[in-house]
Amino acid sequence: MTVYSCRICKFRYDEWLGDTKNGVPPGVPFPHLAGSVCTDCEMNEEGRHLPLPETKYTNAEATYYDQFAGKASIAFYRNWLLQEAEQSSVSVLELGVGTGRIAIELARNGLSVCGIDWSPDMLEMAAKKKRRMLKGKEELLELVEQNMWELELDRQFTHVLLPEGIFQQATCRDKQRQLLSIIHDYITEDGTLAIDLLLPPVKNQWSTMQRKFVFPDRMVYQKVEGETSLLDQKFRYTLTYETFLDQIEQPRYRVEREMALILPTELELLLEGSGFYVTYSKENVFHKQDFEPSQADEGYDMDRWQHGGYPFAEPVGTPGGATRWTILAKKISSSTL
């Protein structure tokens, strides 16, 4: 489901919400409006109504992203790629690099990474962390502002990562195949593609709320309210940040996002039809913490806690709760086609 805007009169229609003024119920596709809600263009004038682009991560969403994403997936990707590097040289392309949560850890461990994102605010956060955390290794991480749908790079990579549900921004099968085709061109022969799938709670409507102290005197509430459409195989959520400084509420930030609802087996079939074969498919959620207080004397251990789960974090083990799957797939060699 999509939000459409008329480029002339600026009328907007949200397929999730319908249009109460004109009696259109929620869930009605835009093409069904023709001849029913506008006396000017009758909603069927070609080229007049355009879908709004995905909202970039900006403002509070970029500022607080790391605070709630935690360390989810960082250790997994680092350990896996270091094992891969023991067999042959590794070059990594991360789409949706965001604040560099994963990319900086990979570069810190000597791996070459190119991070792509279309949000200047997120890349600014990543650049600051790069300067602070990669002293002497800055050349290992390249940050590029590009839209993943319009990639223009001068080389291929042995590994391409789409973490944190980036692939699900392609909300229909045609767009998903298109994105896989673009990625296919940038993976070396026998290279590997890694995709994280975010699966929302198993409910039609759901909500979560987290809060924490930040910077260090701000209390930030992250609220997520979502709904799932099994019929359309999509889910949508509203993310709200409420910030309090000395108990005084600061301006709120709110954004709505829509993602494809894809089950792991569906993605596996899609990959197999797009020039890849699946080598790994597993729920990638940290369920158990094995830690004894006596271990505190052994020094700093950055992997001691690996929780996170932005933006659908729930208590671990919640029945029917949100989860994350990671699928690895190798590019099929042209010699085997």
Antiparallel, parallel or unpaired: β 157-162 and 187-199: parallel
Structure-derived torsion over alpha carbons of residues 76, 284, 113, 140, reported in degrees to the nearest 10:
-30
Tokens 């699946």 appear where? 278
**What is the tally of structural domains in the chain?**
2
Residue 232 lies in a domain: no
Q: Is 257 helix (H, G, I), strand (E, B) or coil?
A: strand
Residues 86 and 138 in one domain: yes
Residues 136 and 79 in one domain: yes
Residue 193 lies in a domain: yes
Q: What is the pLDDT along the chain (337 residues), one digit of tens a residue?
A: 588 888 888 888 998 889 998 899 988 888 898 888 887 787 888 888 888 888 899 999 999 999 999 898 999 999 999 999 999 999 999 999 999 999 999 999 999 999 999 999 999 999 999 999 999 999 999 999 999 999 999 999 999 999 999 999 999 999 999 999 999 999 999 899 999 999 999 889 999 999 999 988 899 999 999 999 998 899 999 999 999 998 999 999 999 999 999 999 999 999 999 999 999 999 988 765 666 666 666 778 888 788 887 778 766 667 788 889 999 999 997 655 5
Residues 26 and 68 in one domain: no
Q: Which of these three, 13, 33, 52, is where a domain ends?
A: 52
Question: Which DSSP state fits 318?
Answer: -
DSSP string, 75-131: HHHHHHHHHHHHHS--EEEEET-TT-HHHHHHHHTT-EEEEEES-HHHHHHHHHHHH
Residues 327 and 307 in one domain: yes
Residues 150 and 118 in one domain: yes
25, exposed or middle or buried, with CB in 10 Å at 0-12, 13-18, 19+? Answer: exposed
Q: Which of these three, 52, 71, 88, is where a domain ends?
A: 52
Q: Which of these three, 17, 32, 52, is where a domain ends?
A: 52
Residues 6 and 139 in one domain: no
Q: Kindly report whether the peptide bond that precedes residue 311 is cis, defined as omega within 30 degrees of 0.
A: yes
Residues 72 and 153 in one domain: yes
Residues 321 and 179 in one domain: yes
Residues 2 and 94 in one domain: no
Sign of CA dihedral 330, 234, 236, 57: positive
Q: Is 47 helix (H, G, I), strand (E, B) or coil?
A: coil
Q: How far apart are CA 132 and CA 124, in angstroms?
A: 13
Rg (CA), the chain: 21
Task: Tell me, rounded to whole angstroms, the distance of Cα 91 from its chain centroid.
Answer: 21
- Tokens found for residue 90: 């590794």
Range of the domain at 118: 59-200+261-287+303-336
Burial state string for 54-65 with b = 16 or more CB within 10 A and e = fewer than 16: eebbeebbbbbb
DSSP string, 156-209: -EEEEEE-TTGGGGS-SHHHHHHHHHHHHHTEEEEEEEEEEEEE--SSSEEEEE
* The pLDDT value given to residue 218: 94
* CATH number of the domain where residue 174 is located: 3.40.50.150
151, exposed or middle or buried, with CB in 10 Å at 0-12, 13-18, 19+? Answer: middle
The model's pTM: 0.90
Residue 218 lies in a domain: no
- Tokens found for residue 324: 């994350």
Residues 137 and 180 in one domain: yes
| Angle formed by the axes of helices 264-272 and 173-185, nearest 10° | 50
* CATH number of the domain where residue 39 is located: 2.20.28.10
Angle at CA of residue 10, ends 8 and 11, nearest 5°:
120
Residues 118 and 39 in one domain: no
